[in-house]
Structure 1
């Protein structure tokens, strides 16, 4: 999956509006993801992935939390993402991580198409994302 990130222009994920994270183990890319600017207050997560042989080790959640932290440091207050209808593990990950489904989960996945989610980041008393 990380190869699909190469289809995006590098500028899409460049600071100050975006970032790319690749997790390596023994010099091999095992997980990763990226975000880009969606609008002034929203970052869009793109291509969160874990290599098949490294799944069920918490790497997806690790990538998600690292990207969320960086999104907050960049001043975004909301995260938006979509995942495919044939990605029940991803849907489970996003729901468990506090994302809100922006679709009716009672509708069959194939009828929905891309499954959109959002999450608002906590804001501290000074107005900065926590």
Structure 2
């Protein structure tokens, strides 16, 4: 059965560094934007995020593929000498529950550690239960918002201290 979730999961997941303005990255971040707007009635425009956030040496943007299909993405940007932020983590609905989100998160954490990062921060929405569960399972804890003007009823700021691997 070509095109089914089972068939697409038969391919191993590959993570590739990619420019934030690459068409696959744009398609995935626009899907994230549509999903967030559907949940909350508004969402941050991914095109307002500077491409430079994810350029080496300041960061990296990864696209996850199963076969030739882009199924997820996420990036890190360095904020300070030992702190980075995860942004634009997303997995397409048909690839959720396959370990893609965990693989992207782990790869972003590894990339941060290679840059000497010891603390990762991120934001997600209060209604995004799958993301909250993923981050909780990975050891992230809720912290005070690090973005001015965020509504604590909608936004959840999370942080994790990276251990030496």
TM-score, normalisation: structure 1: 0.82
Deviations, residues 56-109 of structure 1 (Å, cap 9, x unaligned): 101101100010000000111100001012101111110100111126xxxxxx
Unaligned runs of 5+ in 1: 104-109, 124-129
Partner of residue 22, structure 2: none
Q: CA deviation at 1:113?
A: 2.1
SS of equivalent residue, structure 2 residue 131? helix
Give aligned pairs, total.
118
Partner of residue 122, structure 2: 81
Partner of residue 154, structure 2: 113
Tell me how far apart the structure 2 counterparts of residues 72 and 111 of structure 1 sit (CA, whole Å). Answer: 29
Tell me how far apart the structure 1 counterparts of residues 126 and 59 of structure 2 sit (CA, whole Å). Answer: 26
Say which of 49, 59, 68 aligns to 1:18. Answer: 59
Q: CA deviation at 1:39?
A: 2.0
Unaligned runs of 5+ in 2: 1-26, 31-45, 145-150
Say which of 66, 85, 88 aligns to 1:47. Answer: 88
Say which of 20, 24, 29 aligns to 1:3. Answer: 29
Tell me how far apart the structure 2 counterparts of residues 22 and 30 of structure 1 sit (CA, whole Å). Answer: 8
Tell me how far apart the structure 1 counterparts of residues 106 and 50 of structure 2 sit (CA, whole Å). Answer: 24
Root-mean-square deviation (Å): 1.8
Following TM superposition, where does structure 1 have runs of at least 4 consecutive aligned residues deviating by more than 4 angstroms? none
